[in-house]
Structure 1
């Protein structure tokens, strides 16, 4: 029974349709006067509807749904064959959106198959694809996975720094490109003409995809870890230009007070997109105002993520210092066995990771540092020949994001709270130091536009060493201006008070020096998430152990975690859990 008639909403002819049919996704009664026998109260497949409409000679816009359904079925078959398991319903839904030439954001926790989807989609679609990841190590790992998934049938090239890679990319001699976001930042002028060239659908492409992509200029873009990508906010502009938009479109999209004519023009401009963009993140924290470009030009938003899908027991234990933490970690590994990822806090960095790796091996515990955790080491890790891999609790470290070993990782141990400590001083005007300091205090600054302009400037010169600054007077003058701005803030009692009460930044004094302490909740969520993955039976139970030696950093982390995740993360003590039962 119809309770309403909707004007021009029939999915097939765009005519009027009753609510009862529209609710079931059916065409109007003019397109399909009679439903198939016995289907009055049961769902009707898209294939059946297409067949009925075609038989009646009334198949119009619904043909598009039929093509997408056939192509998504082909995607599911390809996925199953390549991965060895059927795709989740979420992954099929994502595939349908891509096949419909829609752009969107995937904001979902670690372990639900976001990166796997991007790799399979790039391998399956007979179009030019570009996958953007945070680090060169991940570039290599993604390329290796694509080679396996595609069976070597897709010409895949990435930039890892090896000889000849850049020349191959410049020639456009690829089907799939994999690089870091910094490569896009530095080589946009080389990439833009490549993605503006038509890419013909290969003759051997599946017929379902040929019908869907015929006469369409189409590229597929997949950004893995949008947080890293957005740190260079102008990368949004570059990516949109690869998608076919120009400076005029970007300027209009950023216009604050748009008229009705502006909005009508934007609706027309949206049709210029020459492909679809999928951006992925487990801990999206968009801060750049340029993210509105995604909404205005591609029709989706990147919102702050709120993670709820988590099945991890979080244990916290106070240790005296880093050395005590390494000894305690060794004791725990001897009890827990293999399958562990260890993370050293950023204040000890790579040197601390190397020190911990050597210490564990000296104790008879086979361990490998993240830099040597290649495909061969990962296989030995799976077999238990290597008990633990040691990395750094930073979002760019491959053990935090990018290593996918759901069948092997059983627990994570953090030696030190995931955080960053930055000297609150401006004696150094090295661009990298000023950038880190300004980025750290940005959440408590009110001059956001001015700060973002400073950050954009500093990004251009991050590799410039302090001893080289004198060679460039204009750059030095700007650096001194930024340093003075920061110094004035650090000496302002109101600003210091704001920092001390902030949930995102804190201050600590050590050896007479002041440090800005920024906890890293997203790295904790990502890294601990390696221990719990989504399988057919649900989420596996994971174990995360935090050995902290800074009360201020631990308290700050807990505050940030409460803001970053919908379900409360309650840290418990060892005597409150049955460790043996947990790891059975």
Structure 2
């Protein structure tokens, strides 16, 4: 016999009027008896309520329901539950980051939402992409979704070829003569003065890494939402104040009062926002303090995505000659291929590799040529596109062809190389230390005080290493030169150098007056392999990532680092996998 539940009355908990409500009503998803005397099915509640807070929920339900119908009409499939969550956030007027891996339908969602806002709410939309190729693809998709070409302004070399056409397009942008604006993030960076601000229902950043790469770009995105430079600078001062305040450990009462007054002013600034910002999640760790502006003014933080939905078979082979083996593999796998060289290789090497493939019977183009020959690639006349396995490379981050791309071959393990030339190479010094210091700490190769000192230097470089040399004051420049010499002195210790050389995951060698450190590029691998698996009506397409190992240490490091993203990424020897079934 089921137990009887003791009825409770919750004070001031009615979701509509804020009055008292019974536990029974709450359990049924209803409002109190004052607001709704007679019980009705929960799905019909909006038909009976004409006032109160619940009306906002009803309006939200209606908008989401309308958008779901709109989406299905265009895409011929229902919204996925994750996409429905994104829609709810948008219609709640909440800015946010799309925490989902490559291929889950983020761009498609943004494009359909853009058409919805233009047609249903008469709002302008600005969509930002990292490459011209993605801008062109977005334009084509919008047209295929039924958006009028006259309503879209896409600024790329495809549409604005001549100087006259470029000026014409820029004048249209300046005058707001568009409903949907599509540009690269580089265009935003160079042309912020002519781009209208505070007029968009949606600003959609397809790849936030391209914004985070240059800290001042964050300011420009915030300006699109109606914030002034003064608002941004004031908020940055608050961020610095807050960081310093909590470093103290136990803030004084006076400090806390000042903090509360300052926070109230920031809240007033945040209320100036016009429109919603949606950004894709980052594959890199943002360095700049400016990334905290998103949290203070928009209420969200940029982070890395979960890879729970990744559907890729990761396989490897250890051939004697990776170039020769890649020809054999590419011929076996057929059309719809991507080939990635490590980002530690040069552009000249990439061109030589493309030539090598064509001479060996495989039609291939470099990522630089692909935009002009995209139709040939779609049709299978070109079998393979070649790029670098780096989250910065347009092929790894700037191509969306789920119906074409089937696999990716990594011609060598994706690697990062950092040198510590004893001149002004401070960015390399920063990454060099990021890779090396955790290893030194784990192996207890240095005194704890030296490790502490090295981490303090990393924090210093995190701020100043990315500032152009000519913008640095003399004191900061001297400090960075001191750090270089300090790191060099540590590496030159025999026991340290030998321990690093014997490490299974880091390669360190000396060339003349410089040390070169090599380790796996995990974000490059994740980004590039993600091109092979995309969301469609039946689920996630199955992708194949085939690594031709040329460096045992780098491969060991890659296997270890991918577990940071997902425990499910396991590299299998190619002999254990039936490639024909994938």
2: CA distance between counterparts of 1:522 and 1:414? 14
Provide the secondary structure at the position in 2 that maps to 1:291: helix
2: CA distance between counterparts of 1:2 and 1:224? 51
Contact 2:197 2:224 in 1 (8 A): yes
Contact 2:209 2:282 in 1 (8 A): no
Partner residue in 1 for 2:201: 219
For structure 1, the residue ranges without an aligned partner over 5 or more in a row are 200-217, 462-471
Contact 1:489 1:495 in 2 (8 A): no
Provide the secondary structure at the position in 2 that maps to 1:374: helix
Residues 95-146 of structure 1: CA distance to partner in whole angstroms, max 9, x if unpaired?
2211221111111111110121122222321323222222333333333333
Q: Is residue 299 from structure 1 mapped to residue 281 from structure 2 by the alignment?
A: no
TM-score by length of 2: 0.80
2: CA distance between counterparts of 1:489 and 1:4? 68
2: CA distance between counterparts of 1:19 and 1:174? 52
Cα distance, 1:140–1:540 mapped onto 2, change above 3 Å: closer
1:332 to 329, 350, 362: 329
Partner residue in 1 for 2:36: 32
Partner residue in 2 for 1:466: none
1:143 to 139, 142, 145: 139
2: CA distance between counterparts of 1:343 and 1:386? 16
Q: Is residue 244 from structure 1 mapped to residue 226 from structure 2 by the alignment?
A: yes
Cα distance, 1:168–1:525 mapped onto 2, change above 3 Å: same
Please give the root-mean-square deviation of Cα atoms over the aligned residues, in Å. 3.4
1: CA distance between counterparts of 2:150 and 2:28? 40
CA positional deviation for 1:494: 7.2
Partner residue in 2 for 1:17: 21
Cα distance, 1:515–1:479 mapped onto 2, change above 3 Å: farther
Partner residue in 1 for 2:461: 451
- Name whichever of 362-371 and 331-340 sits farther off: 362-371
Partner residue in 2 for 1:179: 183
Count of residue pairs brought into register by the alignment: 526
Q: Is residue 524 from structure 1 mapped to residue 493 from structure 2 by the alignment?
A: no
Contact 1:226 1:281 in 2 (8 A): yes
2: CA distance between counterparts of 1:276 and 1:538? 29
Provide the secondary structure at the position in 2 that maps to 1:228: helix
Cα distance, 1:504–1:129 mapped onto 2, change above 3 Å: farther
1: CA distance between counterparts of 2:412 and 2:72? 41
Contact 1:329 1:415 in 2 (8 A): yes
TM-score by length of 1: 0.80
Contact 2:343 2:389 in 1 (8 A): yes
Q: Is residue 316 from structure 1 mapped to residue 316 from structure 2 by the alignment?
A: yes
2: CA distance between counterparts of 1:333 and 1:20? 64
Contact 1:504 1:518 in 2 (8 A): no
1: CA distance between counterparts of 2:218 and 2:293? 8
Provide the secondary structure at the position in 1 that maps to 2:377: helix
For structure 2, the residue ranges without an aligned partner over 5 or more in a row are 246-255, 438-454
1: CA distance between counterparts of 2:265 and 2:477? 43
1:90 to 82, 104, 119: 82
CA positional deviation for 1:520: 1.8
Cα distance, 1:21–1:448 mapped onto 2, change above 3 Å: farther
Cα distance, 1:138–1:412 mapped onto 2, change above 3 Å: same
Provide the secondary structure at the position in 2 that maps to 1:446: helix
Provide the secondary structure at the position in 2 that maps to 1:110: coil
